[in-house]
Structure 1
Amino acid sequence: MHPVLFKIGSFELASYGLMTALGYAMAAFYLLPRLKKINLDRDTFWNLIFIAFMGALIGAKLLFIIVSWPQLGATTAEKIANIFRDFRYGFVFFGGMIVSVFSLIFYMKKKGLAVFKTSDFLITALPLGHALGRIGCFLAGCCYGRPTDMPWGVTFTDPHALVAPELLGVPLHPTQLYEAGGNLVLFFILHKLYNKPHKNGMILLAYISCYAFMRFIIEFFRGDYRGAFIFGLSPSQTISLLTALAAGALWIYLQKKETKNG
């Protein structure tokens, strides 16, 4: 693949960084013409995007450090050096999502925004941006899959790719493309649901449920080290289960709220 698109002197344009930036841009430009639907001004909208971006960056890097700590080096100094050696790589989506969610909720409450209504609006675009980010993973060679004999297996040969050295030249499940495709489907589903009459919070609930299910399944095909939690599940599978439970709790809360208001 192409982890570096081009290099001029010491400057390198990493495909992962470019696709991630394009993902945020596409999500933002999808939402911009629709701001009137929830009476959101542009300044507040861009503040929300900035908070989401910074939360995703910080949270995704922190969770990567936590789950990858044993693999980062033999000593603490070596681990820290490896963390900062190339900050462009090494992120876990769920970590970014968790930090972004709490940061956004804090900001929404501070601004007096309706949390569920605003969240429904923002979450619709998330799978679109995430799909482009996963294509960046594919180009960089991170988040790769297990070896496979399937005809659609992909082979990474670039020594700069983030695939484990022993898996270079070995056909692997294109788990990055599995997730990119799944996110695109999810985006179109949320787009359709949002444009139909719905209760506040239901689009958010649909996203949490669908993404948790999709990620739980795709994790079985991943081949990169991500640590192991209970019952041999990966950290992302464990978080998928927890977010699915959170979606169930949210659904119960919204139902009780509707009954109380009704």
Structure 2
Amino acid sequence: MHYLVDFNPVAVALGPVQVHWYGLMYLLGFAGAWWLGSRRLASGRLPVTREAFGDLAFYVMLGVILGGRLGYVLFYNLREYLAHPLDILRVWDGGMSFHGGLLGVLLAGWIWTRRHHIHYFDTIDFVAPLVPIGLGFGRLGNFINGELWGAPTTRPWGMIFPSAPELIDMTREQLHALHASGQLDRYARHPSQLYEFLLEGVVLFTVLWLYSRRPRPRYAVSGLFALLYGVFRFAVEFVRVPDAQLGYLAFGWLTMGQVLSLPLVVVGVLLLARSRHAPVLAPATAVPAPGKHNGKPTGGR
């Protein structure tokens, strides 16, 4: 019998105040990235103070939230949000774009580096291994929300999503009764959120974290991140149902997620090629003390 994905999206309800699992996943992602970023900072991976790192973390957090939401609005559902602009604020219902969030992070990093005189890609190389933590938790949030499910499958690990179009009109009681009798098994779908959790979260984090433990040429860590994410996302899109308002863009299989991921593959290859002739930056022997210069130039801008 296939698993029925039926979670309450609200984790905690205190009177009128509701804390959604989706929001908690983002908080866990930020907390995990902060903790591991502090470890990388302590090992000298970025020559700045803890105060400067705190600023970077804040900038990146804003970039993820604002960029992710605006990216979803622009790339996936512009017409709907133009008709109902206040719905843009309903982030707890889901609707975040990784590619928009990535652009937000890149912009936030650029603003921060101009203040602290760090080479831009030294900052991005520092941040890149932390990103899969948020990606992984975000995909778990998608799974709990029962959104971004995959195509129908007969595989034994297929799962049943009540928000799928063939089931969305059923009540919770009807769904559980039919599930208990096995009548919902024919509606099983790929749990594409869990595929992405594994690839974009666990695998990508493990590879980048292990790879970046040793000094690497500038651009290499960022290039590896872009290449692997682009490949993973492009592959999973083959079994993930595109947003209903967009559908397939061409050939009966090309999705917006694949279109947005292809440039990442290209950029990743170019950055890795450029890293072959870039300096290898050894960890700083000491982190500047508060009140002193927050960062030293580490190369051309």
TM-superposed deviation, 1:244: 1.2
Aligned residue identity for 2:19: L
Identity of aligned residues (%): 28
Relative to structure 1, the CA distance from residue 15 to residue 109 in structure 2 (aligned partners, 3 Å threshold; closer, same or farther) is same
Partner of 2:64: 56
Partner of 1:233: 254
Partner of 1:203: 221
The correspondence of residues 1-262 of structure 1 with structure 2, limited to 5 A, is 1-36=7-42, 37=44, 38-69=46-77, 72=80, 76-77=82-83, 79-84=84-89, 86-88=90-92, 89-157=94-162, 163-168=163-168, 170-182=187-199, 183-225=201-243, 227=246, 228-229=248-249, 233-255=254-276, 257=278
Aligned residue identity for 2:91: F
Give yes or no for contact 1:145–1:175 (8 Å, CA) kept in 2: yes
TM-superposed deviation, 1:114: 2.5
Relative to structure 1, the CA distance from residue 230 to residue 60 in structure 2 (aligned partners, 3 Å threshold; closer, same or farther) is farther
Give yes or no for contact 2:222–2:271 (8 Å, CA) kept in 1: no
TM-superposed deviation, 1:110: 2.8
**Structure with the larger helix share:** 1
TM-superposed deviation, 1:250: 2.2
Which protein is bigger by CA-based radius of gyration? 2
How many pairs are equivalent? 250
- Give the unaligned 5+ runs of structure 1: 158-162
Deviates more, 1:100-109 or 1:222-231: 222-231
Give yes or no for contact 1:27–1:128 (8 Å, CA) kept in 2: yes
Aligned CA RMSD, in angstroms, stands at 2.3
Q: Which whole-Å CA distance do the structure 2 matches of 1:200 and 1:57 have between them?
A: 27
Secondary structure class of the residue paired with 1:7: strand
Give TM-score, length-normalised by structure 1.
0.86
TM-superposed deviation, 1:185: 1.3
Q: Which whole-Å CA distance do the structure 2 matches of 1:220 and 1:51 have between them?
A: 34
Secondary structure class of the residue paired with 2:159: coil
Larger RCO: Structure 1 or Structure 2 (Cα < 8 Å, ≥ 6 residues apart)? 2
Q: Which whole-Å CA distance do the structure 1 matches of 2:9 and 2:67 have between them?
A: 23
Q: Which whole-Å CA distance do the structure 2 matches of 1:235 and 1:224 have between them?
A: 8
Q: Which whole-Å CA distance do the structure 1 matches of 2:259 and 2:222 have between them?
A: 20
Q: Which whole-Å CA distance do the structure 2 matches of 1:27 and 1:187 have between them?
A: 11
TM-superposed deviation, 1:31: 1.6
Partner of 2:285: none
Give yes or no for contact 1:154–1:174 (8 Å, CA) kept in 2: yes
Partner of 1:160: none
